[in-house]
Amino acid sequence: MNETLLKIDKVSRHFGGVYAVDGVSMDINSGGIWGLVGPNGSGKSTLFNTILGLYHPHSGGVYFKGVRIDNLAPYQIYDMGLVNAFQIPRLFPSMTVLDNMLVAARGQMGDSLFNSLFLRQQWQEQEKGLVEEAMDILDLIELGGHTFSIAGELSGGQRKLLEIARSLMAKPTLLMLDEPAAGVNPILGKKIFKKLHELSGRGTTFFIVEHRLEILFEFASWVYVMDKGKRVAEGKSSDILEEPAFYQAYPGKE
């Protein structure tokens, strides 16, 4: 049985008297794709921001690899291997695709003035290795032909892929994605999820908010449903489609 990677324990977060997240508990085990769905205003984004340290919960706790993280800063959570890719890509548009990738690499020796002056050969060797690693990821995500293109000149779908690729460059244990299929055509959306499914077999776990339910449900190992700040259902995709709470959250769904 896979270990619990991320544990959300009775987390609440309110704004004034409005509870955006109300006593939510979830377990994300290592491996596979885990989905989080719900209508607009159900609390998904607030929950994600609380996990990432952008908000602190008013009650409850968040645990990553057994360590409580809801009292940590976002950069500390990132350093532990919990990484986020944004719904709207936040790239460096005037830099090349490759340079955008290298910015995300961890532990670069050349960042140190001492290393850059006195350990030139070592950090140059590391840089070569990082370039090879970045190009491998770009090939995997089908952006290898754009390695030296300017990021700002990519199409919307390609920018989405680069945002995901750059997140993978940070070697996440758990990668959280906010609507990776939003704003792209269904064929590209499905291709993105196929790549994520392939990557989940290589040691990266994915926790994904997605409104394109038909795509998410095809690839997700487990799905949580939120409505009005609460977790109202959970299970395999086929089980969720039998849940009355799902149809109460999504009126009109068939």
Cα–Cα nearest to 24, from 56, 55, 59: 59
pLDDT tens digits, 141-165: 788 899 999 999 998 888 888 988 8
Tell me how far apart the alpha carbons of residues 134 and 100 are, in angstroms, rounded to a whole number: 10
Q: Residues 246, 253: contact at Cβ < 8 Å?
A: yes
Please tell me whether residue 15 adopts helix, strand or coil conformation.
strand
pLDDT tens digits, 2-19: 789 999 999 999 998 899
The pLDDT score that the predictor gives to residue 254 is: 55
| Confidence band, pLDDT 50/70/90 cuts, at residue 96 | very high
Residue 55 pLDDT greater than 90, yes or no: yes
| Confidence band, pLDDT 50/70/90 cuts, at residue 183 | confident
Where do the domains of the chain lie, and which CATH numbers do they carry?
A: 1-81+173-254 (3.40.50.300), 90-171 (3.40.50.300)
Lowest mean pLDDT among 111-115, 141-145, 207-211, 245-249: 111-115
Q: What predicted TM-score, i.e. pTM, was given to this entire model?
A: 0.85
Structure tokens at 61: 């706790």
Which of the pair, 157 or 245, is modelled with greater confidence?
A: 245
